[in-house]
Amino acid sequence: MTIDHELDGLIKFLGRDEWRDCFSEIFGAHLGPALDAFDIEFEDIADMLGEEWSGTLWGCAFEDFLTQDFDVEGGNIVDEYLKRWGWKESAQSKAYMKALRNSLMSLYEVSEIVPGKSVLARDLIRGGEPILVYEHSATKSLKQWDKIAARIVPVMNQHVFAGALLPFTQQATDDLFNGLRLVFGKKKSKKLPIVDDDELHEAARIFTYSWLFDTLENIMEMPSIQNSDGHDFMFHDVRFPLAVGVTQKNIAAGINTIAGMTQEGTKFWNWLEEKPKGKNMPKAASLDTAFEDGYRVLGSIEIKGRYIHLMTNSAERSAIGTDLVKEALGDLVRIPLTEIRTVNQVMADETEDDAIDVDAAMPADIAQQVVHELLDRQYRETLDQPVPMLGNKSPRQAAKTAAGRKKLVEWLKYLENQTAIRPQRTDPMATYSFEWIWRELNILDLRT
């Protein structure tokens, strides 16, 4: 759960009967519409989206709950907790709780990201100047012009993100704005209404279920993929650190004692089933690798530096393989760490722009120069061609009107954001600068 450790005492205080009932009311307002629409329980969220997102959604409701006044003794849980137990908390913890008590959820567009340090966040609902937010973990995954729903709170003379942060797609953004129009706007108006702080305070739940509706719809649309054992297809990379003094030679000898391990190289093994399934293979569509003799590949093991990587395509196989490695290697390895990725995540990481093909052996500086020159030529031609996002006008035509310039800003931010989403920050695509296009179209002042 993405809740700061400074809130441990406050979360424990939530266990009191009067606060538990009040929280249930807020929790239902945040998640109830989506859970009812998809006919699922909150407990299903962890299975569908993962424990991290389940915790983040709980955190969205919890942070909103901290801002609410109820018809119970004390009125507000933060006020009551600090009154009774504030003496146990540090000055920073108390400042954080008080800031959360008065916080507002809003939608922000991020820019000027300094990984591990800070980010500029522009409020897309209330407007105003971008806020410099000091943030460690989120800045490592955020990309230029990403949209996020978050609470920005002042603590000790600087702004930080609260614990619950949701990344918004364009569809989720549209759903959110439609919800705000429906609740606070004029009938049939397409303009985003001016939302004051009191209204934004009441709208916190709309952020949560706009994100959840969009996410669940995307999940539901994906076909179920299974391996030939009938297990949900999910890539598991279990990394075992080698114990001190253990060599790769020691490890290789141990791996060769595991039933089903077939060595394909000095540091690589295929993990095969002991008996081919043959006619017992499931009739439903499945995804797996098998050799010509019918033996299926259940996974693989590779030695990389001071780690052993066990790679499988389901949680069930991962558990079995982990036990086999532990039994065979014992004290030669330490407690493993596991990375889990969905098919979608792997596809997103491996998708490349087919229009630009650079020899992998090319020196990095030359590759960057080649890619950047190709992009320069491609986008310079595009400036005089119709673009669907611009109403089939060319960028130069769109730049002549206020409405066109507004669309141009969204188009350019979209291009920058999609180009920045690369597996490596040093990727030639990720390092490309679009600033010259903003200057060429005379809209650099709108790039905020």
Q: Which residues contact 350 (CB under 8 A, 6 or more apart)?
A: 423
Give the pLDDT band (50/70/90) at residue 444: confident
pLDDT at 81 over 60: yes
| CA 117/CA 22 separation, integer angstroms | 36
Give the least confident one: 226-240, 265-279, 304-318: 265-279
pLDDT at 343 over 60: no
Query: Contact, 153 vs 160, CB < 8 A?
Result: yes
Give the least confident one: 239-248, 309-318, 336-345, 436-445: 336-345
% pLDDT > 70, the chain: 82
Mean pLDDT of 234-259: 89
Please give the angle made by the CA atoms of 180, 186 and 187, to the nearest 5 degrees. 100
Give the pLDDT band (50/70/90) at residue 67: very high
Q: What is the pLDDT of residue 344?
A: 53
- Name the token pair of 228: 């030939």
Give the pLDDT band (50/70/90) at residue 364: low
Query: Contact, 2 vs 164, CB < 8 A?
Result: yes
Q: What is the pLDDT of residue 429?
A: 67
pLDDT at 279 over 60: no
| CA 404/CA 394 separation, integer angstroms | 10
The residue count of the chain comes to: 448
Backbone angles phi, psi at 106, to 5 degrees: -150, 175
pLDDT at 18 over 50: yes
Give the least confident one: 247-251, 254-258, 384-388: 384-388
- Name the token pair of 407: 């669309």
Q: What is the pLDDT of residue 346?
A: 54
Kindly report, residue by residue over 181-196, the tens digit of the pLDDT: 887 776 566 677 788 8
Report the largest interatomic distance among the alpha carbons of the chain, rounded to a whole angstrom: 73
Q: How many CA atoms are closer than 13 Å to the CA of 433, on its beta-carbon side?
A: 6
pLDDT at 287 over 50: no
- Name the token pair of 4: 């700061």
Place of tokens 């209404």: 193
Task: Name residue 424's beta-bridge partners.
Answer: none
Mean pLDDT of 151-161: 91
Cα dihedral: 256, 258, 261, 265 (round 10): -20
Place of tokens 């978050």: 150
Give the pLDDT band (50/70/90) at residue 2: very low
Kindly report, residue by residue over 171-184, the tens digit of the pLDDT: 889 889 888 888 77
**In 137-278, at which residue ranges do the beta strands (DSSP E only) sit?**
147-155, 158-161, 166-168, 235-241, 261-265, 268-272
| CA 179/CA 177 separation, integer angstroms | 5
Query: Contact, 99 vs 156, CB < 8 A?
Result: no
Pairing of strands 261-265, 166-168: unpaired
Mean pLDDT of 193-217: 89
Give the pLDDT band (50/70/90) at residue 116: confident
Pairing of strands 235-241, 337-341: antiparallel
- Reduced to 3 states (helix: H, G, I; strand: E, B; else coil), residue 187 is coil
DSSP state of 186: -
Kindly report, residue by residue over 365-415, the tens digit of the pLDDT: 666 676 677 777 777 878 888 777 787 788 898 888 888 888 888 888 877
Mean pLDDT of 147-167: 91
Give the least confident one: 80-94, 140-154, 380-394: 380-394
Indicate the average pLDDT of the chain.
81
Give the pLDDT band (50/70/90) at residue 335: confident
For residue 444, the one-letter residue type is L
* Comparison of pLDDT for 139 and 295, the residue scoring more: 139
Mean pLDDT of 350-371: 53
